Amino acid sequence: MAIDACAYCGEERELTDDHVPPKLLLEEPFPDNLITVPACAPCNHGFQRDDEYTRDMVALDFRAGRNATAAAKVPKVFRSLQRKESARYRGYVGSQLKPTELVDPLGRPLSLRASPDRDRIENTGKHIMRGLHFHFAKEPLAKDANVFAYSKPGYDSIDFITVNLTSLYEKAGARRDGHIGNGFSFAAASFGDAFIYLFLLYEYFWWIVVALPSHVTIRSLTEQK
């Protein structure tokens, strides 16, 4: 471990490598282009439970079934849920899985769909955004930045957030995009000291994360979701 600045809180502490996106979301063997950033133990451990929850809920949704990375995660998710010490968490996750509207000829649901805690999943989006920001900018995002996250399965042109996204992209001075493994891709843009990130996990689940200077806010993003 080294003493340096954490990519997330900016504090000078003992650091370990944090993977962006979290390795638990990706296929094994892990991709060669997996990004690492320095993170202190409190930040690194602070992300873990929400990241695990995000993996479980997004991978178990029937819409993830067409993605090979998500399909490979499902057995691991079920093994984790079946552990004795996971009884409480298993009940928590199980309460958020509902039968799909798709049924077989006998009227039985074909699968389950998730009705997850979006705040926890959006925390994972913010985690990924801050890690990528450090990777690209070589410094942590400003502590007083206003960070907004929006997530949903699927994405369409009539979603209200599309209008905001398009407007922000039109003003962006720099853009970049890429993918990490077979399960995660991203697009990023900046305009001055404001940033917008778009993430796609398992070919169906989206995050939009916006970071703005402290004196700027987007009321509609939090009020309309």
| Residue 133 within a domain | no
14 and 104 share one domain: yes
Pair 96, 149 in one domain: no
Residue 90 lies in a domain: yes
Which pLDDT value is given to residue 164?
A: 67
Phi, psi of 194 (to 5 degrees): -120, 150
pLDDT at 123: 96
Q: What is the pTM of this model?
A: 0.85
How far, CA to CA in Å, does 167 sit from each of 161, 162, 171? 10, 8, 7
Whether 215 is covered by a domain: the verdict is yes
* 77 and 23 share one domain: yes
Asked if 161 and 206 sit in the same domain, the reply is yes
Domain annotation covers residue 201: yes
Backbone dihedral angles phi then psi of residue 19, each to the nearest 5 degrees: -95, 140
Q: Mark whether 102 and 146 lie in a shared domain.
A: no
Which secondary structure element, helix H or strand E, spans residue 2, and what is its range?
strand 2-5
- Same domain? For 96 and 39 the reply is yes
Q: If residue 94 lies in a helix (H) or strand (E), which one and from where to where?
A: helix 87-94
Residue 124 maps to a domain: no
- Whether residue 157 lies inside any domain: the answer is yes
Same domain, 87 and 168: no
* Shared-domain flag, residues 107 and 155: no
Report the pLDDT value the prediction gives residue 163, as an integer from 0 to 100.
64
For the chain, what is the domain count? 2
Per the domain annotation, does 20 fall within a domain?
Answer: yes
Range(s) of the domain holding residue 181: 140-223
pLDDT value of position 217? 66
pLDDT at position 1 is 45
Mean pLDDT by 10 residues, the chain (225 residues): 79 92 93 94 94 93 88 90 90 83 78 82 97 94 91 69 67 85 92 88 92 74 45
Q: Report strand pairing: 146-153 vs 205-212.
A: antiparallel
Strand order in the sheet with 174-180: 146-153, 205-212, 194-201, 184-191, 174-180
Residues 7 and 85 in one domain: yes
pLDDT at 179: 94
> Does a structural domain hold residue 204?
yes
Q: What pLDDT shows up at residue 8?
A: 96
The pLDDT of residue 48: 94
Looking at the structure, do residues 108 and 182 belong to the same domain, yes or no? no
